[in-house]
Each structure stands twice: as C-alpha cells, then as structure tokens.
C-alpha cells in the first residue's frame, strides 16, 4: 500500500515583515513649560515615560541654544507599537500617500492635533499639539545590526522594500495607500 503525503507549502518565516518600532515625536522648538505639556501628552497616549531631544546647534533667529531640550520623544516596540499605530491610523482615516514610504520600508506621517486620536480629550491647561509618527519595518534576524557581540550588516536582500512595506500596511493594518 502506498501512502500519499501532502506537502504543505509555507512562506519562509525569516522573510516575514514586522513592526520593529514606532517613534512618536513632538517638536516644540523651545524648552520650559510648553515642553512639559507635550511630554504629558505622550505619557498619557502611550503609558511610557518620554525622553527629551536636544538642539544640535544654536539658531539665534529662533532663540534656540545648542544643548537645549526642544522636543520630546517616545519609542514603542512589540504589541504596544501595533496597538498605538492602529489608533494613530484612525486619525488619518486609514489612508496614507505612497510618498510616506521610503526605499527601506519605513513609513512616516504627521498628526495635526492630538485631540483627534481616539481616547484623547482636550484639556485647556495642556492645549493642542501635533506630532510626527515614524514606523520602522524589519524582518526577523535584523538584530545582528544592533547586537553588541559579533555585530554585522544586514544583507540588502533582507531589508524590507517600499513595496513590501505598502503590502504590509494594506494587509495587516487595512490601510489604503494612494
């Protein structure tokens, strides 16, 4: 008696694209109480403690000094990144232009007012802030470029492309890319 075996074809697990990180940035342009309010918004939105970004050089016209904190930023990874990204895409009505994607599979977009995000409410003491959202897509094995011991480069065939990033956003997140 011959036994019939079915061969199950599966996609290579190492070629699967995933979210590496989501970075939320609110650039205020000056330090002080305004920056603290922006930090409070990011903490309320993500539940994480935001950090500050400092000015790289002095710009006298804007009143910015080198080393002065002018922005606040928070980085999300894993499931938190995916859930927050879904909320942020609701603000954009799940539509992004193809110009938001770069050649290495990263995506960036802006939000004009944080009060448009589901779950965020207007507080007169805080005000209204806009923010920048950057999404980094990567494949499993990308850690070799970040690890401490035996660091190496990621091969160009293993880096996510613009088309793969658009496909990921369409299939996984349900985004309409125009």
Reduced to 3 states (helix: H, G, I; strand: E, B; else coil), residue 108 is: strand
In a domain, 3, yes or no: no
- Assign residue 172 the CATH number of its domain: 3.30.1440.10
Task: Tell me what pLDDT residue 123 has.
Answer: 81
Residue 2 placed within a domain: no
Q: Is residue 8, in this structure, part of any structural domain at all?
A: no
> What confidence score (pLDDT) does residue 3 get?
59
Domain count, the chain: 1
Residue 151 belongs to a domain: yes
CA-angle at 26, arms to 23 and 28, nearest 5°: 155
User: How far does Cα 116 stand from its chain's mean position?
Assistant: 18
Residue 62 pLDDT level (bands cut at 50, 70, 90): confident
For residues 73-101, average pLDDT: 91
Does residue 168 lie in a domain region? Answer: yes
pTM over 0.85? The answer is no
- 14 contacts 144 by C-beta, under 8 angstroms: no
What pLDDT was estimated at residue 132? 92
The whole domain housing 120 covers 19-177
Question: What number is the average pLDDT over the span 18-45?
Answer: 89
Q: How far apart are CA 43 and CA 39, in angstroms?
A: 6
pLDDT, one tens digit per residue, over 114-149 is 888 888 888 888 888 889 999 999 999 888 888 999
Please tell me the predicted confidence (pLDDT) of residue 9.
60
Q: Within a domain: residue 160? A: yes
Does the residue 5 lie in any domain?
Answer: no
Q: Measure Cα distances from 4 to 1, 7, 129, 141 in Å.
A: 10, 10, 63, 36
């Amino acid at each position: 008696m011959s036994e019939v075996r079915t061969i199950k074809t599966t996609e290579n697990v190492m070629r699967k694209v995933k979210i590496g990180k989501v970075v939320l940035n609110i650039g205020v342009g000056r330090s002080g109480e305004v920056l603290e309010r922006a930090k409070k918004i990011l903490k309320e939105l993500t539940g994480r403690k935001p950090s500050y970004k400092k000015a790289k050089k002095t710009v006298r016209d804007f009143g910015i000094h080198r080393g002065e904190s002018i922005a606040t930023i928070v980085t999300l990874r894993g499931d938190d990144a995916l859930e927050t990204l879904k909320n942020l895409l609701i603000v954009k009505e799940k539509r992004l232009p193809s110009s938001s994607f770069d050649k290495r599979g990263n995506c960036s977009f802006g939000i004009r007012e944080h009060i448009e995000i589901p779950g965020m409410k207007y507080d007169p003491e805080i005000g209204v802030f806009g923010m920048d959202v950057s999404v980094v897509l990567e494949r499993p094995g990308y850690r070799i470029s970040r690890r401490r011991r035996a660091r190496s480069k990621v091969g160009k065939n293993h880096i996510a492309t613009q088309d793969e990033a658009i496909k990921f956003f369409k299939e996984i997140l349900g985004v309409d890319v125009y």
